Structure 1
Amino acid sequence: MSEVKISAEPRTEFGKGGARRTRRAGKVPAVLYGHGEKPKHIALPSREFAAAIRKGGANQLFAIDITDGTQVLALPKAIQRDPIRDTFEHVDLILVRRGEQVTVEVPVQLTGEAARDTLIVHDHDTLSVTADATKVPDHLEASIEGLEAGSQVTAGDVQLPAGVELAVDPALTVAAVTAAPTAEQLEATLPEVEVATEEAEAEVGEVTEDSEGADAAPTAEGGENTEARTEA
């Protein structure tokens, strides 16, 4: 994977308030650490960082030019996103050197088509591999072409680029091929679903009736007390 050059500036404000102000300024709060160095707090330009991650994935290699004159290579270690706005909240970056071996999680993509009337069950969407820090693949591939129900794709079946090694058991199941349910099997489950729905609706109805009865009782009692006071 090619490296992306990106500028950064030292960050002097910390905590939630400082992070919010950094994000409002169009930057992503980040921390650089590793190689026994003291953690360095920096701010990355949001647009450039987001574009690089969208194109290269979570293992994108960054050549960071900090305004204090420091130049480093780093890989994302942990990325925090806002689940609603899909923006970057914070990034942990680990320092790396050219030629250094790193262990990272890489996405696995299945290629081809399994046999007809089958379903693919994904057990692991990523695999842990060891690679040169400057040559981490953006994804790995494994073929499911023509696989019949009952077949499995293991970590050992995944195609690895030169210089990349598995950091997990080759027997680890990545995906399994199962038989798709027949029309008869799907129809057989419909009565069970209908019964469950009717029971749930009945329970809701009972709860509603009980609630209405409970609301009505105090009114009746209140009326009797009012009449008694009137007669008195």
Structure 2
Amino acid sequence: MSHENYELKAEARERVGKGSARELRRNGLIPAVIYGDKQAPISIALNTNEVTKRIHAGGFLTTIATIDVEGKKIKVLPKDYQLDPVRDFTVHVDFLRVSGNTQVTVEIPVHFVNHEKSPGLKAGGVLNIVRHEVEVHCPADAIPEFFTVDLSGHKGGASIHISEITLPKGVSPVIADRDFTIATIVAPAAGLAEEEEGGEEEANA
């Protein structure tokens, strides 16, 4: 699971629209909606400080939460949030209802370890990260916190593909038709220059 579950208290809101949303924000609240699981959407209002704290803590969109709507507790996964383009504060949040069999599509961060055990990096190469996150399908109650790529033994010029990541049971990449690249190890520029010079000399000879 990505992060520890948490609970947010919410108020049901009957009025919707821009005027109502502005009034909520003036009162320190964020308008939000809970949808999905073949049920009618519920419009709610959440404490701005609580939501902002959760967003800044990381893993917001990959962590299951419980929303207490005036005594009724609903299990949800945050699906999206909007920020004010000028003042950079949260203006709206969308939550998806989840149950034991809910499948979700989420982006999981990729962590790289054992840089010092990579011959390519030790020789002065550079790790070129193609995908900082991988989009996957997985059960809502079993979202991985991150994927780990072990760089041990990788030489300069190596490509690291999704097949090198051991995915948990029930987790599959959204891109399923090819073994896509996660990162490459770019050989040192000096080494490349020497190879090019050597090639030119051979050609001249």
Name the TM-score, length of structure 1 as normaliser: 0.69
Q: Does 1:133 align with 2:140?
A: yes
Aligned-partner SS, 1:20: helix
1:204 maps to which residue? none
Counterparts in 2 of 1:131 and 1:27: CA distance versus 1, 3 Å: same
Task: Kindly provide the CA deviation profile for residues 71-91 of structure 1, in whole angstroms up to 9, marking residues without a partner as x.
Answer: 211111112223554422211
Distance 1:144 1:28, change over 3 A: farther
In the alignment, which residue of structure 2 is the partner of 1:61?
A: 64
More strand by share: 2
Give identity over the alignment, percent: 32
Q: Which residue of 1 aligns with 2:165?
A: 158
Name the larger-Rg structure: 1
Maintained 8 Å contact 1:52/1:60:
no
Cα distance in 2 for residues equivalent to 1:139 and 1:126: 9
1:107 aligns with 2:115: no
| Cα distance, 1:99 vs structure 2 | 3.9
Q: Report the equivalent of 1:200.
A: none
Which residue in 1 is equivalent to 2:126? 119
Q: Spell out, residue by residue over 1:61-105, the C-alpha distance to the aligned partner (whole angstroms, 9 max, x if none).
A: 1111101x4321111111222355442221111111024332222
Q: Structure 2 counterpart of 1:50, which letter?
A: T
- Distance (Å, rounded) in 2 between the aligned partners of 1:34 and 1:54: 25
TM-score normalised to the size of structure 2? 0.77
Gaps of 5+ in 1: 186-232
Q: 1:79 touches 1:88 (CA, 8 Å); kept in 2?
A: yes
Q: Is the Cα–Cα contact under 8 Å of residues 127 and 168 in structure 1 kept in the other structure? A: no
Quick one: distance in 1 between partners of 2:22 and 2:160? 44
1:1-232 equivalence runs, <5 A = 1=1, 2-57=4-59, 58-67=61-70, 69-82=71-84, 85-113=87-115, 114=118, 115-116=121-122, 117-169=124-176, 171-182=179-190
State the 1:163 CA deviation: 4.2
Task: Provide, for residues 178-225 of structure 1, a one-character-per-residue CA deviation record: whole Å limited to 9, x for no partner.
Answer: 12434997xxxxxxxxxxxxxxxxxxxxxxxxxxxxxxxxxxxxxxxx
Q: Considering only aligned residues, what root-mean-square deviation do their CA atoms show, in Å? A: 2.5
Q: Deviations over 1:158-195 (max 9, x none)?
A: 2333443333336111111112434997xxxxxxxxxx
Distance 1:184 1:138, change over 3 A: closer
Q: Cα gap change, 1:53/1:162 in structure 2, threshold over 3 Å: closer, same or farther?
A: farther
CA distance in 2, matches of 1:159, 1:32: 33
Task: Point out where structure 2 has 5 or more consecutive residues left out of the alignment.
Answer: 194-205
Aligned-partner Cα distance in 1 for 2:103–2:165 = 20
Larger proportion of helix: 1
CA 1:82–1:119 in 2, change beyond 3 Å: closer, same or farther? farther
Residues in 2 aligned to 1:6 and 1:26: alpha-carbon distance in whole angstroms: 15
Greater relative contact order: 1 or 2 (C-alpha under 8 angstroms, separation 6 or more)?
2
- Where 1:52 maps in the other structure, the secondary structure is helix
Relative to structure 2, which stretch is displaced further, 171-180 or 82-91? 82-91
Distance 2:90 2:14 in 1: 19
> Distance in 1 between the 2:113 and 2:192 partners?
30
CA distance in 1, matches of 2:54, 2:166: 25
Q: For residue 106 of structure 1, what is the amino acid of its counterpart?
A: I
